[in-house]
Structure 1
Amino acid sequence: MFFLIVGIVSYNILMKWIEQWLKNHVQLVLHRLYWFFSIYFMCYFLLKNDWIFELVLISINFVYLIYFLGKKRNLNWQWLIDEEESALLRHFKFINIFMDVPNLKRSFRKRRLLTMILKICIPYSQRSTFVYLYSHLFIRYNDYFYLYFRLTLIGIFVNYSLPASGWIFNLLIVFMTGFQVIPLQHEIKQSVFLYP
């Protein structure tokens, strides 16, 4: 049983490694579908103790791996670098849930519906320049928007679960949300503050 689990983990690593040699998006999608269903059925037959189907599936996957790994190919360095950068970005994003990460590249989304609602609520005028600017920045930055959304959902869940003492946790959630949004004021470049 232990060796089969180690084999499944090794198979996962090799299947990820094979992705660097796939030529187009269709091959990548088919490869990932094959990968998903083969892992699913291997785990299913392993837990069901159906060893005949398990061995047949392992032999089919072994032939598939030999087909890809048996050919002599060069390393796709650009793919390897992109994978390393995306793994590092996922690591930074996980850390960013708990604290501010200065080296994290910010990602944006247009969010047309929210932007349209915001333009109706906050007029574009000289009186409301900074309110307009900061509210658009808050909506378009993925980090702040999703953080606010997550903390709001947690607050709703806590308020629903603990109706008697939920107001204490609501104050805590409001404090946490406000504390996490403080770095938003430093995201705008200082050239905005110059007098025209």
Structure 2
Amino acid sequence: MFNAHNLFMERFRAFVKDTSRYLQYVFNGHTAIAILFLISATAYYYQQFLSDLPSNFPSIWVIAFFFSLVITYSPVHTLLKKADVMFLLPAEQKMRRYFFNTLILSYFMQLYLVVLTLAVFAPLYQASFGTYSGYFFYAVVLLLLKAWNLMANWWILKIRNKNSRRFDYMCRFALQFALFYFFINDSPVFAGVTTILLFIIFLYAYYLSSQQKAIAWDVLVEKDRTRMRSFYRLVNMFTDVPHLKAVVKKRHWLVNLLTKSLSFDTKNTYDFLYRMTLVRSGDYLGMYVRLVLIGMIAIYYIPQQAISVIIGILFLYLVGIQLMTIWHHHRTILWIDIYPISITIRQQAVLKLLQLLLFIQTLLYSGVFFIQHNLFGGLIMVASGVLSTVFWLHGYVKKKLA
């Protein structure tokens, strides 16, 4: 006999097992140290910013915006699979307990976002208003509205029209932004009117849902598949994810740029292969560009020269660690193993590619110092970046590849 609760528990255990297995690769020793350093540096400069907070800083707008964003974003994790569209459709009337459990799961899974947002903006609130009075009230409102938004998202998922769902999301976001603005600005009348309008939006979403007798199974499955694909793409920056289908992009001009200098020689076989992999794979190039840009922004806005250089070296390390996985990219392709070419040449090709990319990254980071007319800082960045890259590649990476 079909039991919706047992089905949910089975899916939930599989979900926890799958995500925890991949998360341990994301938060390994190397990454955890880097993340801890970045969090510490961000907290330090955040405190410095708050100590010199301008009197005209729009604290209310910033807090209201992020409060509204974190509660409006309330996806429902249904844990459904593609085959469920066919096999669970006959049992739709018995799935109420299953979907109720998924709503509870979704709420508790997203509580960390609410807690994190409250923790991040509490110092800004205190620095702006000189007290934490009322902040506990906002925390309660956030928790309540988070539950209401989760229900509204569930109701509106019965609507297949994307524009209708998007319009509902935008209306809720705008009204909740206004609600928190009026709360913080101590305007109870306007806050009351906004609350009534928001409640009407929730009722309208429920009304639309009640008009749709059937569940939009394909919409739920696609939403869950998209969320899991985003998670797998994040994890794929740290380790190989079999669930993630490889995406190949042409990028002819970039391929020509990186390979035209290579002669048609046996010793360049793997140089050509890994440069093509870097450019045409849907993972490595995008990750490289994103991390390089984030590092450049961090270096530009951090005033202390020594900290900026350390941040630059840290991002060199992060890029190198994640690009090392290119060595395993073709491990399932057997014909590579029958190449009459020494594995040493293959190792050297990976090392040369990593060295080229990290040297380019070093030059870009030093360029940020030069733009700021800090010649000495730029030279230190070049020297420290080159030295750390050489020692890291020919020490740690070379041993790992062997």
TM range (shorter): 0.7 to 0.9
User: Which amino acid letter does the alignment assign opposite residue 35 of structure 1?
Assistant: Y
Q: Which runs of 5+ in 2 are unaligned?
A: 1-136, 183-187, 341-402
Helix, strand or coil at the partner of 1:29: helix
Report Cα offsets for 1:146-196 as digits up to 9, x if no partner: 332233234434655454575555444434322321221221223134349
Distance 1:16 1:55, change over 3 A: closer
Is 1:29 the equivalent of 2:163? yes
Instruction: Name the CA distance, whole Å, in 1 between partners of 2:210 and 2:148.
Output: 15
Q: Match of 2:239? A: 100
Is 1:40 the equivalent of 2:177? no
Is 1:61 the equivalent of 2:163? no
1:71 to 211, 234, 254: 211
Instruction: Name the CA distance, whole Å, in 1 between partners of 2:154 and 2:278.
Output: 38
The structure with higher relative contact order (CA 8 Å, sep 6+) is 2
TM-score (normalised: structure 2) = 0.40
Instruction: Name the CA distance, whole Å, in 2 between partners of 1:119 and 1:145.
Output: 15
Deviates more, 1:127-136 or 1:100-109: 100-109
Instruction: Name the CA distance, whole Å, in 1 between partners of 2:209 and 2:169.
Output: 15
CA contact under 8 A between 2:249 and 2:281: conserved in structure 1?
Answer: yes
Instruction: Name the CA distance, whole Å, in 2 between partners of 1:149 and 1:12.
Output: 35
1:146 to 280, 283, 286: 286
**How far does residue 69 in structure 1 lie from its aligned partner after superposition?**
2.3
Distance 1:57 1:152, change over 3 A: same
Distance 1:101 1:40, change over 3 A: farther
Q: Displaced runs of 4+ in structure 1, greater than 6 A?
A: none
Distance 1:166 1:64, change over 3 A: closer
TM-score (normalised: structure 1) = 0.73
Q: Match of 2:320? A: 178
Distance 1:30 1:122, change over 3 A: farther
Instruction: Name the CA distance, whole Å, in 1 between partners of 2:181 and 2:154.
Output: 26
Distance 1:102 1:46, change over 3 A: closer
Instruction: Name the CA distance, whole Å, in 1 between partners of 2:224 and 2:154.
Output: 12
Helix, strand or coil at the partner of 1:68: helix
Instruction: Name the CA distance, whole Å, in 1 between partners of 2:141 and 2:306.
Output: 51
**How far does residue 107 in structure 1 lie from its aligned partner after superposition?**
3.7
Q: Which runs of 5+ in 1 are unaligned?
A: none
CA contact under 8 A between 1:144 and 1:181: conserved in structure 2?
Answer: yes
User: Which amino acid letter does the alignment assign opposite residue 322 of structure 2?
Assistant: Q
- Aligned pair count reads 191
Distance 1:122 1:79, change over 3 A: farther
User: Which amino acid letter does the alignment assign opposite residue 47 of structure 1?
Assistant: Y
Deviates more, 1:162-171 or 1:143-152: 162-171
Aligned runs of 1:10-25 on 2, under 5 Å?
10-23=147-160
Instruction: Name the CA distance, whole Å, in 2 between partners of 1:69 and 1:137.
Output: 47
User: Which amino acid letter does the alignment assign opposite residue 174 of structure 1?
Assistant: L
CA contact under 8 A between 2:155 and 2:206: conserved in structure 1?
Answer: no
CA contact under 8 A between 1:92 and 1:101: conserved in structure 2?
Answer: no
Distance 1:107 1:126, change over 3 A: same
Instruction: Name the CA distance, whole Å, in 1 between partners of 2:242 and 2:273.
Output: 23
CA contact under 8 A between 1:93 and 1:104: conserved in structure 2?
Answer: no
**How far does residue 138 in structure 1 lie from its aligned partner after superposition?**
0.8
Instruction: Name the CA distance, whole Å, in 2 between partners of 1:17 and 1:37.
Output: 16
Q: CA RMSD in A?
A: 3.3
Instruction: Name the CA distance, whole Å, in 2 between partners of 1:158 and 1:46.
Output: 31
Instruction: Name the CA distance, whole Å, in 2 between partners of 1:194 and 1:184.
Output: 19
Is 1:130 the equivalent of 2:270? yes
Distance 1:22 1:112, change over 3 A: farther
Distance 1:121 1:20, change over 3 A: farther
